[in-house]
Amino acid sequence: MKIEKLIPDNSADTGEDHFSSTAQTPLRADAFVQNDDEKILIIQEHIKAILETLGMDLNDDSLKGTPLRVAKMFVTETFRGLHPERKPKASTFKNSYKYGEMLVEKNITLYSTCEHHLLPIVGKAHVAYVSNGSVVGLSKMNRIVEYYAKRPQVQERLTLQIVQELQKVLGTPDVACVIDAKHLCVNSRGISDVSSSTVTSEFGGVFQTEEKKREFLDYIKLDTDFNE
């Protein structure tokens, strides 16, 4: 049987590079025509075909439920942030106590997926803003990070999306984000460099000044381990 080559010749060269022309996640216009249940059924069959192509015996008790488990995980967990209906409601409140310094939410645990190899990205996000009259609930900052992380991602895009969403919610450009994460596509395959991590940042508004940028970065370095 003839197997046609489906992958462009230059794909191996560009697969590691983080090319992106926009901060928006690339989605087709018909991305949400099918509901979750329909997508799970379709993905289940694709996962089954992949495992069978690899030579796995799906009649084995350990494997027979894997296609459905993976399909459910993709739709309802790993890539749940693709659907706009799952965007967290980020209500704002009047800054009645007139707090005028930056607010920093640091060490937000982040689990995402590299869109080039569909391998995990694991790290920490640090987010800050300066109120222009409105504040947002602390947990909502975590939820915004999680929402944009739960999709096939590029770390640079994820950093931009977090900042742009908070700028829109708070009505201010004065938002910053730093992400430090490990990419298993680097750590567990290819070069297999287990010690390296990737750091990205986006500084908006007043955070573009050296003074505010340094203040934010100094906050990140504070020892705030309360587990001892």
38 a catalytic residue: no
* Burial (0-12, 13-18, 19+ Cβ within 10 Å), 116: middle
Q: Is 126 a catalytic residue?
A: no
CA distance 141 to 90: 8
**Does the annotation mark 155 as catalytic?**
yes
Q: How many other β-carbons are positioned within 10 Å of the β-carbon of residue 28?
A: 7
CA 186 to CA 192: how far, in whole Å?
6
CA–CA separation, 126 and 58 (whole Å): 43
- Count CA atoms closer than 13 A to 41's CA, side-chain side: 4
Residue 183 appears among annotated catalytic residues: yes
173 Cβ contact partners less than 8 Å away, ≥ 6 residues apart: 167, 204, 205
Annotated catalytic residue within 105, 126, 177, 185? 185
From the candidates 105, 115, 165, 202, which is the catalytic residue? Answer: 115
Which position among 114, 146, 161, 164 bears the catalytic label? 114
| 18 annotated active-site | no
Set 155, 161, 164, 165: catalytic member: 155
Out of 116, 156, 167, 215, pick the active-site residue.
Answer: 116
Active site residues: 114-117, 155, 183, 185
